Amino acid sequence: MTGVSNHRKIKLEELDTTLLSLRITRPKDLARIRQSLERSGQLNPIVVRPLDERFQILDGFKRYAVAQDLEWESLEARILDISLPEGKAAMLSYNRSGRSLLDYDEAMVIHSLKQDHLLDQAAISRLTGYSRSWVCRRLALIEKLDQSLQDALRMGVITNSQARSLVRLPRGNQQEVMHCITEWHLTSRDSATLVEKYLSSGSRKEQQYVLTHPMEVIEQTGSGEEIFDIRLSHHGNRLLKSVELLHIQQNIFISLCGQHMTGQLGETETGILEEKIDRLKKGAGKVQKIIHYKTWKDAG
């Protein structure tokens, strides 16, 4: 990336925000930035490039938005004399260390370099400094992910990790699997397991079973793996295995209780389950004490 830079204050009215379309604005981030600006003022300059008679923001959209809300007149800015493609690459580099960009933000920038500037993956890799495989994975979030899933990712309904798993599926199957993930409140790890089991299903009937009984499928997958750490003693490995299995069953219990079918249980069913849950409550209390007071650590 070439081009000299200089610093100066720029009036808000001179700033151009057209590249904001390549970023997702998150209210919680704006609240954090507002708190920082009100408490300490502007600690870091925004980054801009000259654009006609104005300056196009490359980094600092949240600071700009908060400054507008606080009715500031100007912001300290670092001005880079670079081209638009270089400016988009700068959007990635200036956010690399702090990871303020999520995968989908990065994907939008990469896709823009491909679509708007007709750059292939090799050229994008050279421009951004990222590997071609990284570029390919980001492009997949735009090109291979169904639009409804992209919207869900933008709104925070699914996580980046879940999107990376779902993009492995054909577009026609992504939405139903996403619905299963959100309905059962699956973790990123469990979502990856679910997608793997769905892909390995040999028939539509098997796929439907995976989606109808996701926690059972995930539990069977987890219980089939050996839980062992070479760094641990025999007793340490027994504790590790019990913790992992307890975690799996805990996730299943939480997910099942969150289903609308739980609220439709009859009086006889709830009566049978109530006794078992009372026992579970006592056991959960003991587990909580063990964790809180670290008696598992201090027993010796």
Q: In this prediction, what percent of the chain has a pLDDT beyond 90?
A: 58
Q: Shortest CA distance to 103 belongs to which of 36, 149, 57, 171? A: 149
Domain ranges for the chain, please list them.
Answer: 1-92, 172-259, 271-300
Q: Which range is least confidently modeled, 5-19, 32-46, 206-220, 235-249?
A: 235-249
In the numeric block, which tokens belong to residue 139?
């492009």
* CB atoms inside a 10 Å sphere around CB 139: 18
What mean pLDDT comes out for the span 232-251?
A: 83
For residue 78 the two structure tokens come to 């670092």
Mean pLDDT, rounded, for 176-200: 93
Under DSSP, is residue 54 helix (H, G, I), strand (E, B) or coil?
Answer: strand
CATH of domain 1-92: 3.90.1530.10
Strand duo 15-16 + 5-11: pairing: unpaired
| C-beta separation of 282 from 276 below 8 A | no
Supply the pLDDT for residue 297.
67
**pLDDT band per the 50, 70, 90 thresholds, residue 222:** low
Alpha carbons 158 and 179: distance in angstroms, whole number: 10
pLDDT at 193: 93
Handedness of CA 113, 63, 96, 148 (dihedral sign): negative
Q: Is the pLDDT of residue 295 over 70?
A: no
Radius of gyration of the chain (CA): 25
Does the pLDDT of residue 15 top 80, yes or no?
Answer: yes
